[in-house]
């Protein structure tokens, strides 16, 4: 069985402006957004020079960004050919949701017993940012805001290692499944509303409701 030829990038997804400072970081952000939006298709092979041409940069920062994505489990490196976007399965996504719930639910429930209401209330702007991206129907923007909300939530525990692990799992859970249509605005809005519901339950000190909302958010209720 022959390998598929590397896919060109022209017209596959919109050009994203790459600033000259911190080129690698800008390219990495653009590629991550393209993954979330489904513009980089699972199973397809992309070459560094072709992507570099698309972004208006050399192939070097593209390869560096792709190597970071390989470490995150999003792509695999194919020597002398480029990078293949890895396919995900419904089972893998369900397993990620389960692991995230096992990690985050007990931590948030523990924090709910000690963190004052005012500290939870200070997370409302993060929840509002996610809601704004959801209302705009922007999956990539929502993905960033969603991770930021959960990062702020878990950071109240002061365990940086836990936050780092949770963020990595969260990012992997945001890559779409092959062949699944772009996430709908209504789905984003519903997910964002759960952030607000969670904060209100935390502010009220309603632990049963906190757990219920969290498990629903992770799809493990």
pLDDT at 109: 97
Q: How far is CA 134 from CA 81, 103, 128, 143, 171, in A?
A: 37, 25, 10, 9, 17
pLDDT at 13: 57
pLDDT at 184: 85
Tell me the residue range of the domain where 189 lies. 90-218
10-19, 100-109, 187-196: least confident range: 10-19
Residues 101 and 183 in one domain: yes
40 located within any domain: yes
* Residue 108 contacts residue 221 (beta carbons within 8 Å): no
Residues 102 and 37 in one domain: no
pLDDT at 8: 53
The pLDDT of residue 162 is above 90: yes
Residues 117 and 203 in one domain: yes
The pLDDT of residue 116 is above 60: yes
The pLDDT of residue 16 is above 80: no
Q: What is the CATH number of the domain that holds 169?
A: 1.20.120.530
What does the pLDDT look like over 138-152, one tens digit per residue?
Answer: 999 999 999 999 999
Of 70, 85, 100, the domain-final residue: 85
- Partner residues linked to 135 by β-bridges: none
Q: What is the CATH number of the domain that holds 52?
A: 1.10.10.10
- The number of folded domains in the chain is 2
3-12, 126-135, 159-168: least confident range: 3-12
Of 63, 85, 107, the domain-final residue: 85
pLDDT at 189: 95
* Structure token digits, residue 65: 């960004």
The pLDDT of residue 19 is above 70: no
Percent of the chain at pLDDT above 70? 88
H/E/C letters for each residue in the chain? CCCCCCECCCCCCCCCCCCCCCHHHHHHHHHHHHHHCCCCCCCCEECHHHHHHHHCCCHHHHHHHHHHHHHCCCEEEECCCEEEECCCCHHHHHHHHHHHHHHHHHHHHHHHCCCCHHHHHCCHHHHHHHHHHHHCCCHHHHHHHHHHHHHHHHHCCCCHHHHHHHHHHHHHHCCCCCCCCCCCHHHHHHHHHHHHHHHHHHHHCCHHHHHHHHHHHHCCC
pLDDT at 1: 46
Residues 186 and 134 in one domain: yes
The pLDDT of residue 57 is above 50: yes
pLDDT at 14: 58
**4 band by pLDDT with thresholds 50, 70 and 90:** low
């Amino acid at each position: 069985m022959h390998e598929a030829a590397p896919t060109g990038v022209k017209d596959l997804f919109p050009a994203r402006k790459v600033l000259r400072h911190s080129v690698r970081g800008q390219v990495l952000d653009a590629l991550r957004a393209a993954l979330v939006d489904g513009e980089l298709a699972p199973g397809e092979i992309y070459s560094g020079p072709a992507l570099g041409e698309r972004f208006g940069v050399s192939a070097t920062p593209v390869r560096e960004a792709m190597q970071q994505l390989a470490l995150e489990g999003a792509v695999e490196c194919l020597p002398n050919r480029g990078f293949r976007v890895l396919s995900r399965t419904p089972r893998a996504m369900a397993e990620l949701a389960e692991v995230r719930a096992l990690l985050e639910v007990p931590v948030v429930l523990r924090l709910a017993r000690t963190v004052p209401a005012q500290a939870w209330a200070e997370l409302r702007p993060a929840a509002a940012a996610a809601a704004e991206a959801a209302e705009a129907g922007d999956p990539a923007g929502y993905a960033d805001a969603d991770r930021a909300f959960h990062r702020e939530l878990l950071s109240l525990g002061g365990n940086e290692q836990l936050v780092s692990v949770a963020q990595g799992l969260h990012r992997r859970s945001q890559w779409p499944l092959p062949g699944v249509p772009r996430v709908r605005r209504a789905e984003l809005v519903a997910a964002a509303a759960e952030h607000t519901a969670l904060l209100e339950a935390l502010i009220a000190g309603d632990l049963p409701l906190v757990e219920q909302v969290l498990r629903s958010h992770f799809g493990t209720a």
